[in-house]
Structure 1
Amino acid sequence: MKRFAFAAATAVLGLAALTACGGGDDTPAAAPQSQSTASTPDAGSAPKLATADVANFGKVVVDGNQRTLYVFDNDSAGKPSTCDGECAALWPPVKAGTAAPQLDGIDASLVGTVTRTDGSKQVTLAGLPLYQYAPDTQAGDGKGQGVLGKWWVVGADGKKITTPAGGSDSGNSGY
């Protein structure tokens, strides 16, 4: 029964994403609000940024749970995020805590924040806002790579990595 429920939920999420991205604009497809797993530190805590080997991308930036982080081509360095609302449900922003981020393998001078439209602070790397991808459910997933030709894993230097996703799945499966 659990296997059937999981398969049904996966099918519904995939179908919803397929329908949502048919609008023809640059806004990414949305995930249901319950899928959002924003990296939001507790009050008084700090986000964690580190590097890890993910897929065939080499060393990329990950959060404290080893979840791959991404940058969005529609964002500009030092400017607020352009991914809000439904977009942020699929691409949860890495929210800043009240303390300085904990870094491992990342130059502190590259890390900052921008203020989102809701007033919260989002962590940036080399000025670009950082995001998770909701379908990345495990450490080392990189399913968001190349989605819409605008979402990219990011290296410790803050530069996007445009290496295609490996294997038969290009990272754009239905999104």
Structure 2
Amino acid sequence: MFTNRKSGTIHRRRVQLAAAYLAAVALTFTAASCGSPSGSGSAPVPVPPATGDPVSAQTTALGTILVDGRGRTIYQFANDKNNTSTCAAACLDNWPYVPAPDSLPTSSPGVSGKVGSITRDDGHRQLTVAGHPLYTFVVDSSPGQTNGQGINLNGGVWTVVSPAGAPLANPSPASAATQTSIAPGY
């Protein structure tokens, strides 16, 4: 009997991703139920708006970071070097790349880093800021979520991106309660 190793690997990654998603949801519900009572004066966490711009800088629980046109958090991969993406195949199942528009904007709201693009090995164009390829995280199901911040997944660390295009490795202290951790082994 033959076994398909690729199929087993894909299934295992899907199970791991589902476990990560469930852990993130559980942590979100736990954090929400442990929150401060209403009327305590704590400010709500801002949710980035969907602007339609390929990339913009928006205020979130982690501070001012880059988001895509739907308001979803943008990340960069520590393993990417010199305008080259190293996230391919199964990595893209977790970290979809941010596609570059046909015509790059000359400026983007609040973005101080140079907006550009690279051509991926599959021929598609990926958006970059300050030479860093940009991605979203599948566990972030809505604007304002930053579940991928600081996790080590697919062989490297993922971080949200500052308006200058640099990784935001040390987010604002207000974000500590909103970060989620992914199960060990990722």
TM value normalised by structure 2: 0.64
Q: Deviations over 1:52-92 (max 9, x none)?
A: 1222x2100001111000010000132x2100111011100
Q: Percent identity at matched positions?
A: 35
Conservation of the 8 A alpha-carbon contact between 2:117 and 2:125: yes
Asked if the contact 1:47–1:97 (Cα under 8 Å) also holds between the matched residues in 2, the reply is: no
| Match of residue 62 from structure 1 | 67
**What amino acid sits opposite 1:49 in the alignment?**
V
Q: Distance in 2 between matches of 1:19 and 1:143?
A: 13
Q: CA deviation at 1:48?
A: 1.6
1:106 matched to 2:115: no
Give 5+ residue unaligned stretches, structure 1.
Answer: 1-11, 21-45
- Counterpart CA distance in 2 for 1:77 and 1:59 is 24
User: What is the Cα deviation at residue 173 of structure 1?
Assistant: 1.9
Matched, 1:17 2:41: no
- Alpha-carbon displacement from aligned partner over 1:105-162 (angstroms, at most 9, x marks no partner): 113x611111111011101111010000011011100000011161000000111011
Larger Rg: 2
How do residues 38-117 of structure 1 correspond to structure 2 at under 5 angstroms?
A: 48-55=54-61, 57-78=62-83, 80-101=84-105, 103-107=108-112, 110-117=114-121
Structure 2 Cα separation of the partners of residues 105 and 62 of structure 1 = 11
Deviations 1:14-33 (A, max 9, x none): 8433889xxxxxxxxxxxxx
* Aligned mate of 1:137, from 135, 138, 141: 141
**Could you tell me how far apart the structure 2 residues matched to 1:112 and 1:127 are?**
7
Structure 1: distance between partners of 2:121 and 2:180: 28
Are the structure 2 counterparts of residues 119 and 99 from structure 1 closer, same or farther at C-alpha, using a change threshold of 3 Å?
same
Contact 1:66 1:139 in 2 (8 A): yes
Question: Aligned letter for 1:166?
Answer: A
| 2:93 aligned counterpart, secondary structure | helix
Q: How many residues align?
A: 135
Q: Using structure 1 for the length normalisation, give the TM-score.
A: 0.68
Gapped regions of structure 2 (runs ≥ 5): 1-11, 21-51
Structure 1 equivalent of residue 125 of structure 2:
121
